[in-house]
Chains A and B, each alone.
Chain A
Amino acid sequence: MLDVEASARRRRARASDYGCQFRAVDSPIHRLGAGSKLAIGTSLSAAAVLAHEPWSLGAVLALNGAYYFGARLTLSDLWRDTRYLLVQMGIVVLLHGARFGVPEGLWPGLRIALQIALFFVPGVVFLRTTQASQMMRGLRKVLPYRLSFLVFTSFRFVPLFARELRQIAMAQRLRGARLGARDLLDPRSWRDAFHCLMIPLLVRALKAADEAALSAEGRGFGVRPERTYFDALLAANVPPGEARDEAVRPAPIRRGGPGASRASEPAVARGGVAGEE
């Protein structure tokens, strides 16, 4: 029972079951501005492309490791963020081995695979450590804030559509659609992937986009030419393990109307707003 509770606690504390999602912890990387992170990321990605020798590639790997773990990301996060890159690495090494033989093809294969992975890692750190408002603030000089919001919010919907995709695939396979892993190797089954999987997913995506647009407009998005930016991470730092859902027990009810001031009431949340701009 204790194990179950501990596991549930660990799960609640974790950022997300999906890769590349923002992780709300405080770290030197989190505190960097979006522009600085973009500059560091671009430099590291460029270094990954230019590194050809084992020593230089090793150095870029070490820098990426320091950058990643300096953001207080965990091994579990690393697994979620890079598992698909590992598949890519396996395939590239395998193809090089098949083309140039073993061991001649191994090093070039490993080098290219590592370069590709290291090219993407700084982007992963950027997504893991940058809040939507930070990103929009960082990009407002080069992009209209509506556009930067659109780009960043699309990442928030990745988990939603991953779940949708799994559900659709399960139901369509039971209707006879050829969507198994082996089926996808057969070009004759690709029509099913588009027809039975992508069309419903696209319809769901359009519907979700429609709902999201209405909701954003309902919350004043785009109504004014500018907006303010609030740094939620600096404003209060409540450890996730201490969060509690108070709707499960009665709580005192405040009087005085929706606009009434509550300045005299004790703050329930830990932390303060000292770090606000």
Chain B
Amino acid sequence: MLRVSSLSYTYPGEAGPALSDVSLEVRAGECLCITGHSGCGKTTLLLALKGLLHEGTLTGEAAIDAPPEELDSDGVGLVFQNAETQIFCSTVAEEVAFGPENLCVPPGGIGERVRRALEDVRLTGFWNRNVERLSAGQKHRLAIASVLAMRPRVLLLDEPTSQLDGIGKAQLVTVLKALKEQGYGLVVVEHDLEPFRGLVDRWVVMEEGRIRAVSDRFPAEYATEAPGSSTPPALRPSTLPPLGGGHAQDELSPVIALGDVRLSYPGVGEVLRGVELSVSRGERIHLHGRNGAGKSSLLACVAGAVGCDSGSIRVAGIEVTGRTSLFGKVGYLLQNPQRQLFESTVEEEVAFSLRRLRLPAPEVHRRVEEALDTCEAAKLADRLPLSLSFGEQHRVALASVIAPRPEVLLLDEPFSGLDLRQRRRLLAILGSLRERQATTVVIASHDPLPRRGWPDRVLTMEDGTLA
């Protein structure tokens, strides 16, 4: 169906190629999964197949065996990673109709296309739904429907599960299975391979722009730790290392204490329903739950960014009432590091909080070095943060957050967009913080951690409560 021969591509101004001599074939009703470390050329390959690389040098050939007979069809459809930025219209039907409108399909035919595409992604009846009201999983399926309405023969999906929780992934795979059985050729680029085990026919491993291996065997070395390989541990206070330098009373009292915390948003309803939680100093917590379960709201309350409606919150010895500044006590790492970087050098970025704490210059310098060392980013000190790769930006953002030595570090979906190697590296850095700074680490994530034995406790959040 889709045949790619000796495809090579070099970005403008780059010395080395992003793709080198890539050849592959996708048959009708076949699903290929392309994996590999970040920067290996997976997304570039999809852009090349879709014909979206206009600059640079592209050689080789990519052809569809059976070109579409009608002018109002598209041979290859590409669904991008971020569903949010590929939705342009306010309602579901408008969004799905966008592609056929661009192909000049007569309005009479668009309605049928929209209806079929929504059926294919199991969003029947969402016709007039405002896109703001869709879950992350539904938005992704809407993005797929928007491409299906253009009647492609091959569907390319770039990291479709990166924003989805377990159920969202399962629903997506169900939809893709149905599409595969209808005869669509599927090419999925992914880091998280586990959900696709039963769907994929061939696994393609890429490395430095080249195809390293094509096999029908599951590439276990690129997959996360197998589920169930390690039981999530219960609280193990005995494993916490002895902490020095503080008062004995401080060390015994919990660093985070929540009592019957309730929070509601106007028009949304209650998002936290009587949360009780006590976290010891230096403890590692994995806050697990579906998208929308209340994880981020809980972190926002602990960070003092949102005042709870009722209940008590005590963090690092400070009573949090309403919006409370916990600067220096609590660090917060967002999912996307670009939201946190603004300085002209990495060193300045990490020093920002320390200067705001009015620390003397030698101390600032010492702590910057320490934070960059901890985050394995010392070599990047003179670089412009926004020019770094995604993984490097992640480590720099983390360094800037831990430099003031916060007692509590909160991370919201920190593994999104990172490959397995980067996830393990980040987890190792976070693991070292207990020994180095006695930092309590709370990771909110809808996925299991790359190493299941890492947290001291796994807390499951469901519908605003801790199960």
| Distance between Cα atoms of A177 and B325 in the complex (Å) | 11
Q: Which residues of A contact B184 (CB under 8 A)?
A: 258
Residues of chain A with a CB closer than 8 A to B340's CB: 168, 171-172, 175, 200
Residue of B123, B171, B182, B331 with highest tally of chain A CB at under 10 A: B182
Q: Is the CB of B130 within 8 A of A24?
A: yes
A11 contacts chain B at the CB level, 8 A cutoff: yes
What are the residues of chain B within 8 A of A218 when measuring CB–CB?
A: 50, 52, 77-78, 80, 147
Tell yes or no: A133 within 8 A of B by CB: yes
A254 x B103 contact (CB < 8 A): no
* Contact partners of B26 in chain A: CB under 8 A: none
CB of A264 within 8 Å of the partner chain: no
* Size bracket of the A interface: 35 or more
Question: Looking at the complex, which of B8-16, B106-114, B434-442 is the stretch in contact with chain A?
Answer: B106-114
**Pick the contact of A174 from B111, B151, B332 — CB < 8 Å?**
B332
- Min CB distance B98 to A, Å, is 6
Q: Is A99 an interface residue (CB 8 A)?
A: no
- Assess A269 versus B118: contact at CB under 8 Å? Given A12-B133, A211-B86, A221-B102: yes
Kindly identify, within residues 181 to 212 of chain A, every residue whose CB is under 8 Å from any CB belonging to chain B. 195-196, 199-200, 203-204, 207-208, 211-212
Residues on the B chain within 8 Å of A132, using CB: 88-90, 94, 98
A229 in the interface, Cβ–Cβ < 8 Å? yes
With beta carbons under 8 angstroms apart, the residue of B85, B91, B305 that contacts A131 is B91
Which B residues lie within 8 Å of A248 (CB)?
167, 171
Question: Per DSSP, are chain A's interface residues mostly helix, strand or loop, or mixed?
Answer: loop
Contact between chains at B401 and A175 (CB < 8 Å): yes
Give 1 or 0 for each of B100-142: 1 = CB within 8 Å of chain A CB.
Answer: 1111111110111011101101111111111111000110010
- A159: chain B residues at CB < 8 Å are 132
Bitwise interface map of A from 7 to 22 toward B, beta carbon under 8 Å scored 1, else 0: 1100110111110011
Selected from A156, A176, A226, the residue in CB contact (under 8 A) with B353 is A176
Report if B381 contacts A (CB, 8 A). Answer: no
Tell me, yes or no, whether B17 is within 8 Å of chain A by CB: no
Contact yes or no, A237 B182, CB < 8 A: no
Cβ-neighbour of A228 out of B87, B106, B126 (below 8 A): B106
Shortest CB distance A121–B (Å): 19
Partner among A172, A175, A220, A231 whose Cβ is within 8 Å of the Cβ of B102: A220
Q: Indicate if the CB atoms of A200 and B338 lie closer than 8 Å.
A: yes
Quick one: which of B85, B147, B270 contacts A212, CB cutoff 8 A? Answer: B85
Chain B residues near A173: list those with CB within 8 A. 305, 325, 327
Does B88 lie within 8 Å of A231, measured CB to CB? no
CB distance from B344 to the nearest CB of A (A): 10
Q: Does A227 make an interface contact (CB < 8 A)?
A: yes
**Shortest beta-carbon distance from B142 to chain A in Å:** 11
User: Do A4 and B85 touch across chains, with their CB atoms under 8 A apart?
Assistant: no
A111 to B350, CA, bound (A): 51
- Residues from chain A with a CB closer than 8 A to the CB of B98 are 132, 219, 221
CB distance A164 to B47 under 8 Å?
no
**Central interface residue in A11, A22, A171, A180, by most chain B CB within 10 Å:** A171
> B89, B171, B300, B331 — which one has the most chain A CB atoms within 10 A of its CB?
B89
Instruction: Determine if A256 and B183 form an interchain contact, defined as CB atoms under 8 angstroms apart.
Output: yes
Residues of A within 8 A of B90 (CB): 16, 21-22, 24, 131-132, 156
B267 touches A (CB below 8 Å): yes
Mask of B340-370 contacts with A, CB within 8 angstroms, 1/0: 1110000000001100110000000000000
- Interface residues in chain B, defined as those with a beta carbon under 8 Å from any beta carbon in chain A: 28, 47, 50, 52, 73-74, 77-78, 80, 82, 84-91, 93-94, 97-108, 110-112, 114-116, 118-119, 121-133, 137-138, 141, 146-147, 150-153, 167, 171-172, 174-175, 177-179, 181-184, 267-270, 300, 303, 305, 323, 325-328, 330-334, 336, 338-342, 352-353, 356-357, 386, 400-401, 404
Extra inter-chain contacts (16) besides given A217-B52, A228-B101, CB under 8 Å: A175-B327, A175-B353, A176-B357, A203-B386, A207-B338, A211-B80, A218-B77, A219-B98, A220-B74, A220-B102, A227-B101, A230-B100, A230-B111, A235-B127, A238-B125, A276-B108
**7 A–B contacts from the bound complex (CB under 8 Å):** A14-B267, A170-B303, A174-B305, A211-B80, A215-B80, A248-B167, A259-B153
**Top-5 shortest CB links A-B:** A176-B356, A273-B111, A257-B183, A22-B90, A220-B102
